[in-house]
Structure 1
Amino acid sequence: MNPRFRTVPRLGQTRRVADLLERWRAAARGAGATGPAGLTDAGEELIHRWREPHRHYHTVDHLRAVLDVVDRHAELAGRPDLVRLAAWCHDAVYDPRAGGDANEQASAELAVRLLTGLGLPADAVTEVRRLVLLTAGHQVDAGDADGALLCDADLAVLAAPPAAYERYAAAVRREYAHVPEPDFRIGRARVLSALLGLPALFRSPPLARRWERPARANLRRELAALATPGPAPA
């Protein structure tokens, strides 16, 4: 394994990480990986990325939460293992200082490199890349069940109970600690307004029925707090 992605103690020595790695291996095998020798190395590289110290929300906890939603609702997807692999890769490259969709583009290319190296069929690699890129704007075409499930899982935190949502918002603020408060409020308000402007936050009917209303309430509450003079929401 590349020493760059080796942690001390070794990732596989902890139960939670071992379980996560097994989920990675199962998804890759289910999607057609033919290079089993590199499966663990690729999974450890991804986990190393998800554990970078500048992350506060986009961490392995977020990865696990997205995977949990996909697993619970796998029947909604046409190719759930590809959705799982896209979940693994969708924020694997995450630099809060990057502009536009640079993180999603880089994450998609990382997915291509890793999955091609594991021997996945070309059509599967292309589909994972497409799914990762969808998370830049969460705009999903009608009938795209796999894209809907991935994006719904990625946005599930928006429908969290208010206290949990506030912890999420605070963690995002910590990731952007380099941005002055006035600029952060403007930028964050732009993001929230774009989400509220989507025709629907959630596309999978059973998830939309449960999550659309509380998510929009959370977004509106945070948007109102950002417009209020004083400290950012904690």
Structure 2
Amino acid sequence: MDLKFLEYKWFNLTLRFSKEENIREKWLYEIVSKHSSFNRAYHNLEHIIELCCLIEDFEKQLENPESLYFAAFFHDIVYFPGKTNNEIKSALLARKAMNELSVPEDITDKVTSIIRNTKDHFHIGSSESRDTLFFLDMDLSILGSHFDKYEEYYRQIRKEFICFPEKVYKNGRKKFLRSLLKRNFIFHTEPFRNKFEKQARENILLELKNYRRVWINV
């Protein structure tokens, strides 16, 4: 994990709004601390780094890349598997941080909206911005990765939900995966559909096939 890259991204982003080094360092510490918790097998600092790399790759296609970088840092800052209010609490914490960092209200509103939309990547309003759709696709891009990486991902998710009995978790996971396959498209934007859609569907089918054969060791 390249923590220096993460630090660079954070300080480069926040320096545009605040010269208060102690505030910038305070929130970086909070982000690192929360994402380094023992229960974070997938929703950790590595996930933020991967999102930042994707934002870099698609930066020229975004209206306001800064809002996506902030969303990357804060969208999972509150994460307790099985809880339904993670996104709301993450958005509130993001707003608190961005207010302290003197980020303009319009950017703050956009970031908190993106974070709330990660609660359900698909049941979103038709008025959502292109940037929001890009971030949602970035957040799910792991689904379209090489199967070796995808397999590591779903094992990590199982570790995060280790407090759930095997049958309960397995049934919930299968329901989620099948709901993805029923959609016309898993990804919202054309670039992500072109790059990840086919592989994502193949990966999901392989994971479902594994559940039919034998349960996965974590």
TM over 0.5: yes
Q: Confirm or deny that 1:131 pairs with 2:114.
A: yes
> Aligned with 1:53: secondary structure?
coil
Paired residues of 1:28 and 1:81 also in contact (CA < 8 A) = no
Stretches of 4+ moved more than 6 A in 1? none
Q: CA deviation at 1:133?
A: 1.0
Count of residues in Structure 1 that have an aligned counterpart in Structure 2: 216
Instruction: Name the residue aligned to 2:10.
Output: 24
Instruction: Name the residue aligned to 1:110.
Output: 93
Matched residues, percent identical?
Answer: 24
Instruction: Name the residue aligned to 2:163.
Output: 178
When the two chains are superposed, the root-mean-square deviation of aligned CA atoms in Å is 2.0
Amino acid at match of 1:22: Y
Instruction: Name the residue aligned to 1:209.
Output: 194
C-alpha separation in 1, matches of 2:72 and 2:8: 15
Instruction: Name the residue aligned to 1:45.
Output: 30
Q: Confirm or deny that 1:94 pairs with 2:83.
A: no
- Aligned counterpart in structure 2 of residue 85 of structure 1, from 57, 70, 88: 70
- Aligned counterpart in structure 1 of residue 181 of structure 2, from 196, 201, 206: 196
**TM-score, normalised on structure 1?**
0.85
Residues 107-138 of structure 1: CA deviation (Å, up to 9, x unaligned):
11110111111111111111100011111111
Please list every run of 5 or more consecutive structure 1 residues that lacks an aligned counterpart in the other structure: 1-14
C-alpha separation in 1, matches of 2:42 and 2:51: 12
C-alpha separation in 2, matches of 1:33 and 1:204: 33
Residues 138-177 of structure 1: CA deviation (Å, up to 9, x unaligned):
1354772211221111111101111111111111111111
Amino acid at match of 1:26: N
Paired residues of 1:86 and 1:129 also in contact (CA < 8 A) = yes
**TM-score, normalised on structure 2?**
0.91
C-alpha separation in 1, matches of 2:10 and 2:181: 33
Paired residues of 1:189 and 1:223 also in contact (CA < 8 A) = yes
Instruction: Rate the CA distance shift 1:35–1:146 in 2: closer, same or farther, 3 A.
Output: farther
Instruction: Rate the CA distance shift 1:200–1:35 in 2: closer, same or farther, 3 A.
Output: farther
Instruction: Rate the CA distance shift 1:219–1:202 in 2: closer, same or farther, 3 A.
Output: same
Instruction: Rate the CA distance shift 1:143–1:75 in 2: closer, same or farther, 3 A.
Output: farther
Paired residues of 1:70 and 1:84 also in contact (CA < 8 A) = yes
C-alpha separation in 2, matches of 1:16 and 1:163: 21
